[in-house]
Amino acid sequence: MPSFGPINEIPGADDDPGQPVLGNKNNPSDSIILNFQPPTVYNTPVKVIIPCPGHADVNGLYVFLYKGANWIPGCDNKGNVMTGGDGWMVPGSRVNHNNGDPSTIEIKVYHQAPVRAGSIWD
C-alpha cells in the first residue's frame, strides 16, 4: 500500500534558481513535496491530490516530478503532459480545485514519483 516517505530524502528546490517552487522566489516556504513510497507501477492509474497552501487559484501552477537528481515538469498549468511526464501522468487527468483550504491540483499517475506543484522563477 502506498505511503508517504520522508521529505528530507528528496532534495528541495527552494534555493536553486531555475527549479520549481510553489509560489515565487520571494515566498518559497510554501513549497509542498509529496514523497510516495515504495516505488510502484499501478495496473490502474491512481489519483494524487497535491495541496497548494497559500494559493486560492492554482491555475498558473505546473506539476513537477522528481527524476533521479532533478525536478522536471510533468504537466503545464493547462494540464498538458510534458515530455518529462510521458508515461507517468495520465493525459487529460488534471483537475484544479480552487478556493479550497488549501486549494489542490488533482492528477492521475501510472507510477509513483515524488511530486510537487509550482512555477519556474528566474
Average pLDDT over all residues of the chain: 81
- Mean pLDDT over 86-110 rounds to 95
Q: For residue range 52-63, what is the model confidence (pLDDT) as tens digits?
A: 888 899 998 999
DSSP single-letter state for residue 101: T
Phi, psi angle pair for 103, to nearest 5°? -70, 155
82-to-34, 55, 76, 88 alpha-carbon distances in Å: 19, 23, 7, 10
Q: For residue range 11-60, what is the model confidence (pLDDT) as tens digits?
A: 664 545 455 554 444 443 345 788 887 778 889 999 999 998 888 999 98
Q: Is 54 left (phi over 0), alpha (psi -120 to 50) or beta?
A: left
**Predicted confidence (pLDDT) at residue 95 exceeds the cutoff of 90:** yes
More confident residue, 1 or 57: 57
Domain of residue 40 covers 3-120
pLDDT of residue 35: 82
Burial class (CB in 10 A: 0-12, 13-18, 19+), 39: exposed
pTM for the model: 0.82
Count how many domains the chain has: 1
Percent of the chain surpassing pLDDT 90: 39
- Lowest-pLDDT range of 3-7, 15-19, 54-58, 105-109: 15-19
pLDDT of residue 19: 54
